Amino acid sequence: MSPATDFSVALLTHLVARGLRHVVLTPGSRSQALALAAAELDRRGELTLIVRLDERSAAFTALGIARESRTPVAIVTTSGTAVGNLLPAVMEAHHSGVPIIVLSADRPAELRGSGANQTTLQPKIFASFVRLDLDVEAPTEHGMVPDAAALAAAAVSASRGTLEEGGGAFPGPVHLNLQFREPLSGPFPEPNTEAASQAVGEAAPSHPHEARARAFTVKPGPRTVVIAGDGAGPEAEELAHAGGWPLIAEASSGARFGRNLVVAYRQLLHGELAPLVQRAIVFGHPTLSREVPALLGRADVEVVVVASGGERITPGNAARRLVDRVEVGAEGLAAAREPDARAWLGRWIVASRQQLELSDPEFPAPDVEAPRSGDLTRRRDYAKAELAAARASVSRPVLALAVWRATWPHDRLVLGASRLIREADKVVPGKKITVHANRGLAGIDGTISTAVGVALASQGAGRGGITRVLLGDLTLLHDAGGLLIGDGEQRPRVQLVVGNDAGGTIFDSLEVAETADPDAFARVMRTPQSVALEQLAAAYGWSYTLAKTRQELDRVLTSPSGQLSIVEVRLTHEGY
């Protein structure tokens, strides 16, 4: 008999009863009871288990699953540095409002500070980044102590943002630090799933913040723009459409579609339209430009910030209002049809189109009638143009456009925190597709692992589609461990599209690039590298393709080679 095993089975069973569907774990001795319990529940079809070698990759894989599924995902680790390796993903989950539940195994409290092996101060290790942090005493043979049902209820509620004691109304990470004494595992007890389900039914918790969820009705009048940052969702597009307002939607907003979309917003916020803005309604977390924060910081602009799943922005503007929901009332719907409102929207849309035509990264539109023309010279010129287009090298904007266009609603697109997400934000047109990005802290950590997690969740139960990832070479190398998917583990369809410029160029647009010593700048800011990506792919069992031309890129994007594939596109530092 092992109290550790009995408790682990009970805890996971109660978590499953409350909606948990995925557990991601890394191997370890102290966490063996949790690991073996998860493996058995996976065998029985109660949950899906994913095993990874290192904790950072495991945590970001869980983050990706939770992003896509919008349900809590558990991470199981052993004690010691294993827990510390979760911090980057926990921080991202906190800032972006993603529900993950950390189940860290620990040695008994009396061993802390004694020099015992793999023992450190794990309680409160994540500080203010978790919604709930409980140090759970070791289970004993005399009854089920601690209370697995109560712990599961608290963990799920806090991760979903519905437990007031857990830090507020927004989803995020939770930490249960679980002490275990030997024996660390034993025979598997029969889980009491009926009792767990009954406990959920009896609890029937209500959301403690329902009173705060009343909608704020936007009054017509001020010249308004709707800003959709990362994770804004389709609600931003719906509001812009209802109010007849221009929509400024970042590439990872989930709102970059619709007839009100202003693609070239950066240029327009530098032009004559920007000073005319009187009100901005903000969804999500804008992170991809300097122009939007400058607009929101203006004293003459009323700012309405709508609650989202993650950290709510609070621009330094006295004329701001924080609301939980926003809607356009009957008066606003009528005002949207007035000539002044239509003219305001029309000026933005026309100006955006003009800007895009001036900076179009594509070749001129082909002469579609030329192949059927009786003019030999016209047909020859057409053939030359087609050949030139096929053989053309790939620039950053063209790469971003190609990946965007190859992605459809049944696919998923993950954008790494590289220069390429900014290139995409400048040029990609409206399209209603699901896009993910770790923009809570906008770090390059765990991008591959996050994407694999997104793929596992989106392709479950035999669903189709592929998860494409647009990322730079340094973002790839930073999470090279995420390429490792062990034998027997599920291999989803993932295509990594790597813009390789032999180092980072994202800082080239900053002022420091003009003032720093060129050699020092190259070494400490660009961090040049010459890794053979083909060999890296082979080492981890991923297929590899080098796309040298636009034709080759389009071909490999639409016909991936294998379940797990890397597409390399070599870029230059200078220009496009």
Per-residue pLDDT tens over the stretch 343-384: 999 999 999 999 998 877 665 555 557 777 778 887 777 777
Residues 60 and 197 placed together within one structural domain of the fold: yes
Domain boundary among 153, 173, 204: 204
Please indicate, yes or no, if residue 97 is contained in any of the structural domains: yes
Take residue 444 and report the two structure tokens written for it: 């390059």
**Residue 462 neighbours by CB distance under 10 Å:** 5
**Which candidate, 238, 259, 263, places its Cα nearest to that of 332?**
238
pLDDT at 415: 98
The domain of 235 spans: 212-358
Please indicate, yes or no, if residue 411 is contained in any of the structural domains: yes
Q: Give the CATH number, domain containing residue 335.
A: 3.40.50.1220
Q: How confident is the model at residue 274 (pLDDT cuts 50, 70, 90)?
A: very high
Domain boundary among 358, 384, 409: 358
Buried b / exposed e along 218-230 (16+ C-beta atoms within 10 A) = bebeebbbbbbbb
CA dist 264 and 266 (Å) reads 6
Residues 320 and 179 placed together within one structural domain of the fold: no
Average pLDDT of the residues in 122-136? 96
Q: Give the CATH number, domain containing residue 494.
A: 3.40.50.970
Average pLDDT, the chain: 90
Please indicate, yes or no, if residue 271 is contained in any of the structural domains: yes
pLDDT reading at 4 higher than 70: yes
C-alpha R_g of the chain: 26
Residues 148 and 249 placed together within one structural domain of the fold: no
pLDDT at 140: 87
* Prediction pTM value: 0.91
Residues 171 and 269 placed together within one structural domain of the fold: no
The pLDDT tens digits of the residues spanning 148-200 come to 999 999 999 999 998 554 445 689 999 999 999 999 999 988 888 777 777 77
Q: How confident is the model at residue 512 (pLDDT cuts 50, 70, 90)?
A: confident
Residues 37 and 131 placed together within one structural domain of the fold: yes
Residues 199 and 217 placed together within one structural domain of the fold: no
Please indicate, yes or no, if residue 374 is contained in any of the structural domains: no
**Which candidate, 104, 128, 129, 107, places its Cα nearest to that of 118?**
107
**Which candidate, 46, 62, 52, places its Cα nearest to that of 11?**
46
Please indicate, yes or no, if residue 369 is contained in any of the structural domains: no
Residues 89 and 43 placed together within one structural domain of the fold: yes
pLDDT reading at 574 higher than 90: no
CA dist 368 and 54 (Å) reads 54
Average pLDDT of the residues in 448-460? 97
Strand partners of residue 248 = 227
CA dist 158 and 422 (Å) reads 34
CA angle 151, 156, 159 (to 5 degrees): 120
Strand partners of residue 100 = 73
Residues 442 and 336 placed together within one structural domain of the fold: no
**Residue 340 neighbours by CB distance under 10 Å:** 11
Domain boundary among 358, 388, 412: 358
Please indicate, yes or no, if residue 385 is contained in any of the structural domains: no
Question: Crossing angle of helices 3-17/193-203, nearest 10°?
Answer: 50
Please indicate, yes or no, if residue 80 is contained in any of the structural domains: yes
Residues 231 and 184 placed together within one structural domain of the fold: no
Please indicate, yes or no, if residue 19 is contained in any of the structural domains: yes
Strand partners of residue 543 = 565
**Which candidate, 167, 141, 145, 142, places its Cα nearest to that of 154?**
167
User: Which residues, 6 or more positions from 187, have their beta carbon under 8 angstroms from its beta carbon?
Assistant: 1, 2, 5
Take residue 97 and report the two structure tokens written for it: 């409002």
Residues 101 and 126 placed together within one structural domain of the fold: yes
Domain count, the chain: 3
Residues 219 and 182 placed together within one structural domain of the fold: no
pLDDT reading at 443 higher than 90: yes
- Beta carbons of 151 and 134 less than 8 angstroms apart: yes
| pLDDT higher at 391 or 17 | 17
Residues 200 and 216 placed together within one structural domain of the fold: no
Where does residue 155 rank: exposed (0-12), middle (13-18), buried (19+ CB within 10 A)?
Answer: buried
